[in-house]
């Protein structure tokens, strides 16, 4: 059984770093690469960071029901193609998604058993410091991201787990522990228990 892990966080919370560390140490995880209609930024590579497609193609795929979740953000579409899940199942791996609050809500409706994790910055001040340290955004964009963060954080109680990313090492270890625990709880324990139970059933005969 494929486990689906959803990770969400306000921009600047350190989510990408934690997700990357998790993937680097776990070959049983497949990362879900989202589709988007926005143009690539910086060193982003098509098929690695996102699948960059036209608005027309995205809307056609949307009409065909290809996306498990999708949203339009500041004039650009983002979505998770169902092939990500199908390929994870075919490979016998678990699926890890890095999506926003709206996308997480949609995906949980489609896959109620998905495990969701929300990553928080320690405070608004620290989040602002991190956003400014990246030196990527104009002042107006930074202020917009802070407003977005406030809205996203209000939805924290919709998630199964909440991590406060004060220390990267501790947060990375906590995220990995969640994945290990949920795998044992949802799938691996059943695989171990069935053979044991069978030995008891044989003895009763």
Per-10-residue mean pLDDT of the chain, 205 residues long, equals: 94 92 94 95 89 97 96 90 96 95 93 95 91 82 89 92 95 96 77 82 67
**Residue 202, pLDDT score:** 72
**Residue 187, pLDDT score:** 60
Q: Which residues contact residue 195 at a Cβ distance below 8 angstroms, ignoring those fewer than 6 apart?
A: none
**Residue 106, pLDDT score:** 95
What pTM, to 2 d.p., does this model score?
0.85
**Residue 188, pLDDT score:** 57
Is 28 within 8 Å of 91 (Cβ atoms)? no
**Residue 205, pLDDT score:** 53
CA diameter of the chain? 74
**Residue 204, pLDDT score:** 59
Q: Which of 86, 110, 116 is nearest to 98 (CA)?
A: 116
Assign a CATH topology to domain 4-32+94-204: Rossmann fold (3.40.50)
Distance between CA 142 and CA 14 in Å, rounded?
Answer: 15
Helix ranges (H only) for the chain are 15-24, 55-63, 83-91, 101-110, 124-134, 139-153, 168-183, 189-204
């Amino acid at each position: 059984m494929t486990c689906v892990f959803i990770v969400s966080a306000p921009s600047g919370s350190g989510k990408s770093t934690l997700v990357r560390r998790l993937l680097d140490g776990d070959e049983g995880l497949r990362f879900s690469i989202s589709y988007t209609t926005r143009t690539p930024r910086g060193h982003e590579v098509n098929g690695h960071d996102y699948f960059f497609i036209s608005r027309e193609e995205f809307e056609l795929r949307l009409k065909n029901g290809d996306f498990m979740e999708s949203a339009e953000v500041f004039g650009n579409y983002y979505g998770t193609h169902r092939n990500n899940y199908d390929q994870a199942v075919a490979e016998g791996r678990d699926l890890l998604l890095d999506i926003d609050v709206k996308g997480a809500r949609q995906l949980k409706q489609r896959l109620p058993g998905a495990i969701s994790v929300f990553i928080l910055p320690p405070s608004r001040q620290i989040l602002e410091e991190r956003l400014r340290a990246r030196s990527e955004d104009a002042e107006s964009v930074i202020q917009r991201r802070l407003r977005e963060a406030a809205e996203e954080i209000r939805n924290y109680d919709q998630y199964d787990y909440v991590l406060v990313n004060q220390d990267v090492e501790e947060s990375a270890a906590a995220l990995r522990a969640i994945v290990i625990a949920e795998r044992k709880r949802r799938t691996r324990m059943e695989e171990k228990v069935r053979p044991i139970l069978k030995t008891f059933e044989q003895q009763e005969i």
